[in-house]
Chains A and B, each alone.
Chain A
Amino acid sequence: MILPALPVLFPLITIIFLLINFRRREWQPWIGLTGSLLQLMLAVFILVRVKQEGILVLHTGNWLAPFGITLVVDAFSSFMILLAGIIAVSISIYSFEAIDRQRQSFFYFPMVHGLLMGVNGAFVTGDIFNLYVWFEVMLMASFVLITLGGEKKQLRGAVKYVTLNLVSSLFFLAGIGLLYGKTGTLNMADLALKLSIADNSILINTSAVLFFVAFSIKSAVFPFFFWLPASYHTPPVAITALFAGLLTKVGVYAMIRFYTLFFVQDKLFWHPLFLWIGGFTMVVGVLTAASQYDMRKILSFHIISQIGYMIMGLGIFTAAGIAGAIFYMAHNIIAKTNTFLVAGLINRVTGSYDLKSIGGLYKVRPWLAILFIIPAFGLAGIPPLSGFFGKLILISAGFSAGEYVISFVALAVGLFTLFSMVKIWNEAFWKARPENSEPFEGENEKLPLSMVLPVVFLGLLTLTMGVAVKPILDFAMDASAQLLSPGPYIEAVLGSDYQSQ
């Protein structure tokens, strides 16, 4: 069945079309948009198929697992592919106007699709070395996107971003080497099988720690997050929104995949560690956000704080906890991207991201205020928006698993998130405009439809996720049940007679 390879092939074909027509600048956004729309439709189709038929497997080149590279789509993967499709469409529409001509004609759209190819590849692969390759594809595209334009501050941010991400890749590769030396396999399902019968869990931990450091740097959790706020505010906001939505979540995805499928021997060591790290990530992220005045910096620090919730879900390690992490991830990808896009709209009408030099927007642009309130209060966790249910599921899972400290921390962090969002609200919308501020020429212009449309679309999704919690949560529960009992996954990859081998 070819289906698991298509999320990778669609962006690739889009890139080919974009490169063929790279001299026709006015075609580029349209080709990019068509590619993203097709990708979204494909994602929906895959999700339905996975729901009907269970896990989809493709042995590339007909090399049977564990020898060839296997592509696997289970419920969790298909859900993530759908989210990537949603973000792809939103960013493609937003980029029509938000990305300047020059960037558009210098391979902006091919790079966006290159990034999506890497992200989708990471979601579908069932092979750890292949995962490393997809990470590199994704990183390479993101390196180009973050430096595209070559402004001074962009290059400053890019040096930090590139260095830290390369170091993380090296950790990942070292982990793969050691794990291969110990088990002789790279296939995730085969690893799960081999590690479940191996009893030397202490030896396995040496590579598990290397993977943990690698994914922690990628997903910007507590001691490894410094590169993120130092670089994410430098490129144009559409690129930041794309990164904020997808890149860190791929790290979290890989972490959940690895630590539910095969690094499950040493629960007593890992799960408390996840809870500690998750707690610190939440608290540090949200407190540092509170001291910032640049909108993009506030939002960047909030990415870190929100990652903490997902790690907390993994640390709780019950069906409800993992489902909460998955639900939270969906909510966060949508709402976080949306807040960045709204910050871009605010910049469009004020010419600044600095909260100190703007104000009074509620008076002139009441609709913009509403567009901001939906994702911002979603992030803070106000009912009936999606963030409330995400937090509710995670915290109630925490209480029922007896993890009281982390649950109280999560509650308190929600309050501080609200503080930061109210701060943006107060400074940008509510307070009077600073008297000494210069008039900005774009002030009275109408906002381009292509920039408002994705914000409305993502805002509606946040609302829908809040209203229709039940079906989404049911799906997340299915995905988490699949993750916690890897038997069917192993069977789908290795064939039904795997136990006899």
Chain B
Amino acid sequence: METILAFVIGLLFAAGVYMLLRRSIVKLILGIMLLSHAINLLIFTAGGLHKGRPQFTGYGMESDIPNPTDPLPQALILTAIVIGFGITAFFLALMYRFYQVTGTEDLDELKEGDTK
């Protein structure tokens, strides 16, 4: 399972970086989203994957699971997803406003601010 996830993470990272390097702002945002998903999976995998070892038991069930899986990485990922969601929403709004004001979504148009 780790091997498969490692490949998936690598693929997501590669796709994310590729999208970051494109000229369109929409693709830039997609790139950042892909990267943040890659990192969520990275935390998930680094936290340990164990088959048949639950993190929690339901109410009234036996309370002692031998070797439960660590639930914390999933809590971290949940937080990271929520933060990522907020930031993506902001970035999309920013992009829309940028498009309204400048009439373009080409990142090459950003150069002007650097040279002057």
Contact = CB atoms under 8 A, between A and B. Distances in A.
B76 A178 contact: no
A166 B83 CA distance: 11
Contacts of A150: 97, 101
Interface in B29-84: 32, 35-36, 39, 42-43, 45-48, 70, 72-73, 76, 79-80, 83
Contacts of A234: 113
Interface residues on B, range: 35 or more
Contacts of B45: 181
A143 B98 contact: no
B101 to A, nearest CB: 5
Contacts of B72: 180, 186
Interface in B1-49: 20, 25, 28, 32, 35-36, 39, 42-43, 45-48
Contacts of A158: 94, 98
B113 A153 contact: yes
Contact of A176 (B43, B94, B113): B43
A36 interface: no
A24 interface: no
A180 B73 contact: yes
B90 A143 contact: yes
Interface string B80-116: 1001001100110011011001100001011011101
Given A129-B76, A184-B70, A166 B87 contact: yes
A163 B98 CA distance: 14
Majority-rule SS of B interface residues: helix
A230 B72 CA distance: 39
A180 B42 contact: no
B113 A156 contact: yes
B83 A167 contact: no
B86 A181 contact: no
Given A147-B94, A159-B98, A162-B94, A230 B114 contact: yes
A153 B113 CA distance: 7
Contacts of B42: 174, 177-178
Given A159-B98, A163-B32, A181 B39 contact: no
A38 interface: no
A159 B110 contact: yes
A143 B89 CA distance: 12
A170 B83 contact: no
Contacts of A446: none
Contacts, number: 95
Interface in A139-160: 139-140, 143-144, 147, 150, 152-153, 155-160
A232 to B, nearest CB: 11
How many of chain A's residues touch chain B, expressed as a range? 35 or more
B60 to A, nearest CB: 25
B59 to A, nearest CB: 22
A133 interface: yes
Contact of B47 (A144, A155, A173, A180): A180
Nearest to B102: A152
Contacts of A143: 90, 94
A170 B87 contact: no
A170 B16 CA distance: 12
A156 B112 contact: yes
A403 interface: no
A167 B20 CA distance: 10
A155 B46 contact: no
A184 B48 CA distance: 10
A170 B39 contact: yes
Contacts of A174: 39, 42
Most chain A C-beta atoms within 10 Å of own C-beta, residue among B32, B86, B87, B113: B113
A371 B87 CA distance: 40
Contacts of B97: 147, 150, 155
A295 to B, nearest CB: 14
A153 B46 CA distance: 42
A159 B43 contact: no
A136 interface: yes
A229 B113 CA distance: 10
Contacts of B116: 294
26 contacts: A129-B79, A136-B83, A140-B87, A156-B98, A156-B112, A157-B113, A159-B95, A159-B98, A162-B91, A166-B91, A167-B35, A170-B39, A173-B36, A174-B39, A176-B43, A176-B76, A177-B46, A177-B47, A178-B46, A180-B72, A180-B73, A181-B45, A181-B46, A181-B48, A231-B113, A234-B113
The 10 A-B residue pairs with the shortest CB-CB distance in the complex, in nearest-first order: A181-B46, A177-B43, A156-B113, A155-B98, A177-B46, A177-B42, A174-B39, A173-B39, A136-B83, A170-B35
Given A170-B32, A176-B43, A181-B47, 16 more contacts: A143-B90, A156-B109, A156-B112, A158-B94, A159-B95, A159-B107, A162-B91, A163-B28, A167-B32, A170-B36, A173-B43, A177-B76, A180-B43, A180-B46, A181-B45, A181-B46
